Amino acid sequence: IYLPKKGKTAPALIIELKYDKTADTAIKQIKERQYLNYFDDYKGKVLLVGINYNPKSKDHDCLIEEVTI
């Protein structure tokens, strides 16, 4: 989790990393485990970032979803 300094316009970030899964699985975990609840005093845009590493192909895939709280 990254929270921008007060007064900054940058969005907050929640990043979930996966190994041999999918980036979509990472985004689903952020939502299912309600990680947005950690932002008690924050109001604004939050980027949900799911990153997966595939050990067979050695590729990364990334999915970014924007929400506002």
pTM: predicted TM-score of the whole model, two decimal places: 0.90
One pLDDT digit (tens) per residue for the chain, 69 residues: 999 988 888 999 999 999 999 999 999 999 999 999 988 888 899 999 999 999 999 999 999 999 999
Pull the structure tokens for residue 44. 């604004």
CA dist 54 and 68 (Å) reads 30
Query: Alpha-carbon distance 59 to 69, whole Å?
Result: 32
Say which residues have a Cβ less than 8 Å from residue 24's Cβ, sequence separation at least 6. 50, 63
